[in-house]
Structure 1
Amino acid sequence: MFKIPGHHHISMITKNAQANNQFYQKVLGMRRVKKTVNQDNPSMYHLFYGDLTGSAGTELSFFEMPLAGRTYRGTNAITQIGLLVPSLESLEYWKRRFELLDVTHGELTTYAGRAALPFEDTEGLRLILLNNNGEEIPESWSAWEDSIIGKDHRILGIGAVEITVRYLERTARTLRDIFGYVEVARSENEAIYQSVAGQAFGEIVVKQQEGPSEKPGKGSIHHLAIRVKNEEELRYWDKAVKERGFQSSGIVDRFYFQSLYFRDSNGILFEIATDGPGFTADSTIEELGGKLDLPPFLEEQRAEIEAKLAPID
């Protein structure tokens, strides 16, 4: 059996690509590693932020939907993104920075056993900084040295991702019985799972909450992608998902990676995505994120696509 080595990326909805671009680059100091479009609807931007190359496990991605309304929070949704920072001093640095830049944030707290600082982006997306405390990170993660944030406090990558569901055990079975996640903590209404035991870069916090399902809008999370090495592993997981009775999209070629999609019994949308070929498939490391990149099958439509997109920095 193959093992899941951690998160791949997580995708959200933004109403305003320009404001989103400003926040994640100029406030959080992440690198925009790809400016492209939604391959299923090329009229909207798809922006990716991450480390030097947008390594699997560091990528935050956003679909721009200018007509998106507000998010009505509820259950059966992915509800919070953890981002790892190097130390407790980093959390204190970020608290001061958020105060200076008027970013909505809470107080220093503890989350999933780690010192933490919750905050929101300009559209109410819930994020939380987590103290990685000098622990191991994937070898593939590469720091972006041109970040406006110094190396001692820079965001490293994605940590614990929170999923809120009406029936905890349904999602627990998906993680545990299909993908081999290890349950490392359990209380009455919460369980914590790790794809790599002891490591935060593949951690999922599942919370049980009754009530209406979330109605997505700007600042909501669309799906969580988990990481696999290559197409061989992807085909293995496609078969495993189907054998459990879930409907799979089948393998989809996204050019920068291959992936498949399915919803669990609580309606949570998961993607399974390969490490490669990565964002340097059509760009040098130095050029990443600078221009509008399109997969080959959309290249003939470039003029039409660009005409419909508002320029962003």
Structure 2
Amino acid sequence: MQHSLLGIHHVTAITSDPQRNVDFYTGFLGLRLVKVTVNFDDPTSYHLYYGDQQGHPGTIMTFFAWPGAPRGRQGTGQINATAFSVPQASLGYWINRLHEHGIQHQGPTLRFGEQVLTLRDPDGLALELVAHLGEQAAPGWDNGVIPAEHAIRGLASVTLWEDGHEQTARFLVDTLGFRLAAEDQHTFRYELGTGGSGTRVDVRNAQGFWSGSVAVGTVHHVAWRVANDEVQQQWQEQLDAHDVNVTPILDREYFHSIYFPEPGGVLFEIATDPPGFAINETVEQLGTSLQLPPWLEEQRPLIEQTLPPLRYKTQQ
């Protein structure tokens, strides 16, 4: 369909230590820091964006930095794992890298026919590395700490834990246009379009498990891609017509956004692919200085004084 969701745009989580976060996501995982800005709703805190060389939609992991905030609790009504895609032939490289860095992990385990490594970042956020045969052809970033042939290619999927999954399943299929692609015991895989890496959401029926609380070490929301503002406007109107509690369209400078909860409580976003991250920095300079939207620029001296020092490095 012309106006379908295209896949995952980005995932946003919460960290307590921005420098440690940069060191892990660029220094260990080898992602590029593509934008250093602030939380537009709280300009006293960083908003950090990681991705591929240009920060293409579908490769972006972002973090709100909330120093001193409490640790969240992972449970139902939450995204409990964020999966990155790596080439199938690179699984051994990543296992060795985990061992070399002393990072505890599980796996590889087989899930829906794919090998999965599970680990946690320094804040306890659950991450996965999923080996995909088709990712070998996709280009990897060739200027990071990870050799390009082994580099993370983008986001593969997210996993929702739900206290009863039926309402969420109906919402994904009937309202958002997903289709059920596979099921494995208590986990159901839904895909967009023709499927594949980056189009997937796994829903785990965790009925009776405790509910999650969003804070440090948890995911705040997942964003789904649309091609342009016109399609997003149609989604905003359609969701509103279905009595979904959807926000007005918000300007996030690098994309436009609407937000709404799915029936199980996980916060969803629909974000536009354009205009992208190179609107106020060249591709070569992405992530090397603090960028503020025009409406916050006059507050720059105060914001810079408030934010903790941060070494802007795209590689280490």
**TM bucket normalised to smaller:** over 0.9
CA distance in 2, matches of 1:232, 1:20: 35
Which residue in the other structure is 1:22 paired with?
A: 23
CA distance in 1, matches of 2:59, 2:20: 20
Q: Report sequence identity in percent.
A: 38
Which residue in the other structure is 1:105 paired with?
A: 105
CA distance in 1, matches of 2:181, 2:59: 23
Q: Does 1:227 align with 2:225?
A: yes
Helix, strand or coil: the match of 1:201? coil
**TM-score, structure 1 normalization:** 0.95
Is contact 2:225–2:273 with CA below 8 Å preserved after alignment?
A: yes
CA distance in 2, matches of 1:234, 1:10: 18
Q: Which moved more, 1:208-217 or 1:4-13?
A: 208-217
CA distance in 2, matches of 1:101, 1:187: 32
Q: C-alpha displacement at 1:266, in angstroms?
A: 1.1
Q: C-alpha displacement at 1:123, in angstroms?
A: 1.1
Matches within 5 A, 1:20-99: 20-87=21-88, 89-99=89-99
Matches within 5 A, 1:285-300: 285-300=283-298
CA distance in 2, matches of 1:104, 1:276: 37
CA distance in 2, matches of 1:291, 1:31: 14
**TM-score, structure 2 normalization:** 0.94
Which residue in the other structure is 2:211 paired with?
A: 213
In 2 relative to 1, CA 43–242 (structure 1 residues): closer, same or farther, beyond 3 Å? same
Q: Deviation string for 1:47-96 (max 9, x for gaps)?
A: 00000111100000000001221222211101101100011x31111111
Q: C-alpha displacement at 1:136, in angstroms?
A: 8.6
Q: C-alpha displacement at 1:190, in angstroms?
A: 2.0
Is there any run of 5+ residues in structure 2 with no aligned partner, and where?
A: 312-316
CA distance in 2, matches of 1:161, 1:112: 14
In 2 relative to 1, CA 67–257 (structure 1 residues): closer, same or farther, beyond 3 Å? same
Is contact 1:55–1:142 with CA below 8 Å preserved after alignment?
A: no
Q: Which moved more, 1:121-130 or 1:170-179?
A: 170-179
Is there any run of 5+ residues in structure 1 with no aligned partner, and where?
A: none
CA distance in 2, matches of 1:223, 1:298: 24
Q: Deviation string for 1:95-136 (max 9, x for gaps)?
A: 111111111211211123211111111111111101111259
Residue identity matched to 1:131: A
CA distance in 2, matches of 1:252, 1:269: 15
Which residue in the other structure is 1:118 paired with?
A: 118
CA distance in 2, matches of 1:240, 1:113: 35
Helix, strand or coil: the match of 2:150? coil
Matches within 5 A, 1:110-189: 110-135=110-135, 143-187=140-184, 189=186
CA distance in 2, matches of 1:68, 1:148: 30
Q: C-alpha displacement at 1:146, in angstroms?
A: 0.6
Residue identity matched to 1:144: W
Q: C-alpha displacement at 1:187, in angstroms?
A: 4.6
Helix, strand or coil: the match of 1:223? strand
Q: Which moved more, 1:117-126 or 1:30-39?
A: 117-126
Misfit runs of 4+, over 4 Å: none
